[in-house]
Structure 1
Amino acid sequence: MGRPHVLVIPYPAQGHVLPLMSFSHYLAKQGIQITFINTEFNHNRIINSLSKSSYQDYVGHWINLVSIPDGLEDSPEERNIPGKLSESVLRFIPNKVEQLIERMIAESSGTIISCVVADQSLGWAIEVAAKFGISRAAFCPAAAASMVLGFSIQKLIDDGLIDSEGSPRVNKTIQLSPGMPKMETEKFVWVCLKNKESQKNIFQLMLQNNKSIESTDWLLCNSVYELETAAFGLGSQILPIGPIAWAHSLKEESTSLGSFLPQDRDCLDWLDRQISGSVIYVAFGSFGVMGNAQLEELAIGLELTKRPVLWVTGSWDQRKPPIKLGSDQVKVVRWAPQREVLSYGAIGCFVSHCGWNSTLEGAQNGIPFLCMPYFADQFINKAYICDVWKIGLEFERDERGVVPGLEVKKKIDEIMRDDGNYKKRAMKVKDIVMKSVAKDGISYENLNKFVNWIKSQVN
């Protein structure tokens, strides 16, 4: 009997590549061969971010990283034009993936791919797999609530809440079912992308995905059933398998594979020197979303707290935070090994943009949040954190749309003082997550079922 071979295709953004890479490592540990497809631009960033160890030390012999062009120039100017990446994903990349699969089949004298695992936001990849008669699974790296919102698009149009292009007709807060987070029409996943072209492309992708998903064999979600019971109730075909990052140990070198930036591990030594529960961890993911005015106000607020700060600048490293705390009281790094950072007892709270990976990583370590969402699914995740799980607070913005320094200090003091028992609730959420990935937990069992199914695809 041959070894099962899975082709993995993420959406070409950091928050999508990382969970699918974790999933790939989990499958590889079960004896499944993986071919992981990145764009050439992201592939090069991943290889360049690896430290002294060799590429093989990270990927092992079971994961093969391959790349395809995305049709964009390598210059930051070209790549930062709003709507360019989403247009490439919609119109350019599908043909390149199809050509790659065709070539792989031709070179092997017959289909050697047991299954295609595609990012749920790439419905066309499911269609390409179906065209070649390959089994297929869709993987959602976001909350089930985000997927259920996508499935509800036609109903939202019928109810007059959005038009046929996804633009809101009314400014209204809705709840898809009791127990789900409340959502504002002005902040739907595709609406708050700050750019009409991106909005149009992402909405088109979501409409396509709704059709493509119908032909998938599996619909997997990097989430936890007990944290999103209402959403999974609405989307009964969605199987929770998260948080997938816990499928491999923090000690493995492979935890950094998939990162677009090299991780600064010096911050872990710095954390070792801090008092338990004292550090404010500040990280807003890989996108540069913060204007200069907000950067300055955040720095002022953090200084006013007089607490130690670990600040990850991400892709906007060229603008170092203007923070003036004492040298051993603040640590600024471009990129951190976040899963490890959040497992340190020194971390007291997480100032976050509420991306889903960050939300899960904070939740599974029992860390209270302070929320500053900007776009896409971050508002849904913020609603889970603040309103459903009650493990964090949202910063209030002023008339400029900026969170003032005094508001930063006030909310940090409130959550660190913890009269509201945020830490206690966060620890309960941690227990829920850990039970789900432990033996006999729902995520654990679903992962097992999927692996057994993959193995059954081999003739």
Structure 2
Amino acid sequence: MGSQPHVLVIAFPAQGHVAPLMKLSHQIVDHGIKVTFVTTEFINARLITTMPANSPIRLVSLPNGLEPRDDQTDALKLINSFQEVKPDHFKDLIEKINESDDDDRIICVIADVTVSWAFDVAEKTGIQSAAFWPNVPTTLALILLIPKLIEDGIIDTQVCNSFYELDSLSLNLIPGIIPVGPLLSSNQLENHIGTFWPVDSTCLSWLDKQPVGSIIYASFGSTSTFNQQQFDELALGLELTGLPFLWVIRLDIANEALSEFLDGIRLRIADSGKIVDWEPQEQVLAHPSIACFISHYGWNSTLEGISMGVPFLCWPYFTDQFQNKSYICDFWKVGLGLNPDENGIITRHEINTKIKALLSDDVIKTKSLKLKEMAKKSVSEGGSSFKNFESFIEQIKQRVAQLKASLKRPRVESSIGDAFRGHPSSDPSTEEYVDPTAVVDPEPSTSTTISTRSMLETVLIVQSAHGQLLLDLLNEVATLEAELAATSGASPPAPPSDQP
């Protein structure tokens, strides 16, 4: 067996999942480990067009499992396809690689946690597996189910795209979780690793010509969509500020009517604004001309904004984005939220007012810079995520020695999870540190009849609803407080302004 370990990485076919796993893969390669990156044919074709020709990552595709007439971006169809079609193809891929040459043998499968069947396949083929969480999982279902998966040996360890100092309370509730983020590509040769669309780098030269802290940056990720009325209000709201702006509008949502609308905006804004199809977001956020970031706030955008110290204006679209907004506005206090009117529209006046309020808030700016320094420290040498990642890599390399000792052993027990469980590599002297030993692990489940797939599917369902449930709970609490205040003769508190 050769000296270079070989890891198979598999991602759910969506931009918010592929991008962080691709960044993780590049960091793994930097440590002398070979990486084969697996996704669907449809996504693989997109990645090939945007990745550099000399990329160290080997791309391999699995059949889409959809009919040619099917919408390849339909999330429900993709999930069903993953469950019904992909496991056998993935198993065949592993066996083909392992049977071809012992020097190229797969020693670890790192799978997006949403690709639940990959853990079963890895176990059946006798390969160590690691679960990757693209965002910070904090649902009750996860806290209860993950210990069972680790106990049964289905998952050897879990890593997540976060850092301990950012949310130690939540991370301490999840046994065995290893924060290795923020995963950024700014230290890589290419700053748009894992993107599905070609980037328009002309926006960077345009930003170079703008004053420091003058640009409003608006980008709503890979899935958010607006109707024509909302586009109108956003455009007019940006113009009302009188400030220059950079606005990203994806090609896949630009129909004929929208194209005419955008042409009109471009004529009006002249040199005061710029509209692009897609952009190198990390480089944009790091540019000194950026004053604030308007976004839906998926977890990747949230971490990138935090890492660059940019104040947030939150416009959540669905699922965990509402939860991220609560973190940003209520917990970290590094941004403001946009509130829809009675028709569900974010008006031009709301946009204009909140942008000006955000830009004049020195407290938010100070807190944003503090989080930036925390993020930078975590991935610097000696930081919590840096040490966690180094230990994770060392455990992968130790697997090579185990396989050399016995290639025919069906499964070798791994201590990766034990190496981290409850012992993050953070500095206890930091203000944000919470002693993980004070957290009591939940009692492991005694049930042996629930399948890995069904448990993880339950996790995903609860995770999707978490943002809405959180807002509903806040509203219920406010209502109870108001009723209590009314009965005691006190003035009731104002209801929460953040609506889903």
Deviation at 1:212, TM superposition (A): 4.5
Q: 1:280 maps to which residue?
A: 216
* Counterparts of residues 264-279 of structure 1 (less than 5 Å): 264-279=200-215
| Aligned-partner Cα distance in 2 for 1:90–1:289 | 27
Q: 2:142 maps to which residue?
A: 151
What SS does the aligned partner of 1:302 have?
helix
Q: CA offsets, 1:83-123, max 9 Å, x none?
A: 21222222222222122112222323698111000012222
Q: In the alignment, which of 293, 304, 308 is matched to residue 229 of structure 2?
A: 293
Q: 2:88 maps to which residue?
A: 95
Q: 1:400 maps to which residue?
A: 343
Q: What letter corresponds to residue 353 of structure 1 in structure 2?
A: H
Q: In the alignment, which of 325, 330, 334 is matched to residue 391 of structure 1?
A: 334
What SS does the aligned partner of 1:335 have?
coil
Q: 2:176 maps to which residue?
A: 237
| Aligned-partner Cα distance in 2 for 1:335–1:388 | 30
Deviation at 1:307, TM superposition (A): 0.8
Number of residue pairs aligned between Structure 1 and Structure 2: 391
Higher Cα Rg, which structure: 2
What SS does the aligned partner of 2:378 have?
helix
| Aligned-partner Cα distance in 2 for 1:211–1:87 | 24
Q: 1:199 maps to which residue?
A: none
Deviation at 1:73, TM superposition (A): 3.6
Q: In the alignment, which of 176, 180, 187 is matched to residue 249 of structure 1?
A: 187
Deviation at 1:402, TM superposition (A): 1.4
Q: CA offsets, 1:150-175, max 9 Å, x none?
A: 415x7xxxxxxxxxxxxxxxxxxxxx
Q: What letter corresponds to residue 175 of structure 2 in structure 1?
A: S
Q: What letter corresponds to residue 282 of structure 1 in structure 2?
A: A
Q: CA offsets, 1:50-92, max 9 Å, x none?
A: 4xxx522xx13xx2111111212455x6235562122222222
* Counterparts of residues 239-388 of structure 1 (less than 5 Å): 239-245=178-184, 249=187, 252-253=189-190, 255-314=191-250, 315-318=252-255, 319-320=258-259, 322=262, 323=265, 325-388=268-331
Deviation at 1:132, TM superposition (A): 0.6
TM-score scaled by length of structure 2? 0.74
Q: What letter corresponds to residue 276 of structure 2 in structure 1?
A: V
TM-score scaled by length of structure 1? 0.81
Q: 1:196 maps to which residue?
A: none
Q: Retained in 2: the 8 A contact 1:126–1:136?
A: yes
Q: 1:128 maps to which residue?
A: 121
| Aligned-partner Cα distance in 2 for 1:9–1:213 | 19
* 266 and 9 in structure 1: CA distance in 2 versus 1, 3 angstrom threshold: same
Q: Which runs of 5+ in 1 are unaligned?
A: 155-206
What SS does the aligned partner of 1:249 have?
coil
Q: Which runs of 5+ in 2 are unaligned?
A: 405-500
Q: What letter corresponds to residue 65 of structure 2 in structure 1?
A: G
What SS does the aligned partner of 2:369 have?
helix
What SS does the aligned partner of 1:311 have?
strand
Q: Retained in 2: the 8 A contact 1:143–1:381?
A: no
Q: Retained in 2: the 8 A contact 1:113–1:134?
A: yes
| Aligned-partner Cα distance in 2 for 1:328–1:149 | 50
Q: What letter corresponds to residue 55 of structure 1 in structure 2?
A: A
Deviation at 1:256, TM superposition (A): 2.4
Q: 1:162 maps to which residue?
A: none
Q: Retained in 1: the 8 A contact 2:6–2:104?
A: no
Q: What letter corresponds to residue 53 of structure 2 in structure 1?
A: Y
Q: 1:27 maps to which residue?
A: 28
What SS does the aligned partner of 1:6 have?
strand
* 333 and 402 in structure 1: CA distance in 2 versus 1, 3 angstrom threshold: same
* 82 and 445 in structure 1: CA distance in 2 versus 1, 3 angstrom threshold: closer
**Given the alignment of the two structures, is residue 67 of structure 1 paired with residue 4 of structure 2, yes or no?**
no
What SS does the aligned partner of 2:324 have?
helix
| Aligned-partner Cα distance in 1 for 2:193–2:371 | 27
What SS does the aligned partner of 1:351 have?
strand
Q: 2:434 maps to which residue?
A: none
Q: Retained in 2: the 8 A contact 1:279–1:346?
A: yes
| Aligned-partner Cα distance in 2 for 1:448–1:109 | 26
* 15 and 374 in structure 1: CA distance in 2 versus 1, 3 angstrom threshold: same
| Aligned-partner Cα distance in 2 for 1:217–1:357 | 25
* 269 and 243 in structure 1: CA distance in 2 versus 1, 3 angstrom threshold: same
Q: 2:356 maps to which residue?
A: 413
Deviation at 1:379, TM superposition (A): 1.1
| Aligned-partner Cα distance in 2 for 1:82–1:13 | 9
Q: 2:398 maps to which residue?
A: 456
- Please, which moves more after superposition, 131-140 or 322-331? 322-331
| Aligned-partner Cα distance in 2 for 1:17–1:362 | 19
Q: CA offsets, 1:180-214, max 9 Å, x none?
A: xxxxxxxxxxxxxxxxxxxxxxxxxxx8x886555
Q: Retained in 2: the 8 A contact 1:317–1:334?
A: no
* Counterparts of residues 37-56 of structure 1 (less than 5 Å): 37-50=38-51, 55-56=53-54
Q: Retained in 2: the 8 A contact 1:5–1:114?
A: yes
Q: Retained in 1: the 8 A contact 2:315–2:337?
A: yes
Q: What letter corresponds to residue 64 of structure 1 in structure 2?
A: R
Deviation at 1:312, TM superposition (A): 0.8
CA RMSD of aligned residues (A): 2.0
Percent identical:
43
Deviation at 1:400, TM superposition (A): 1.9
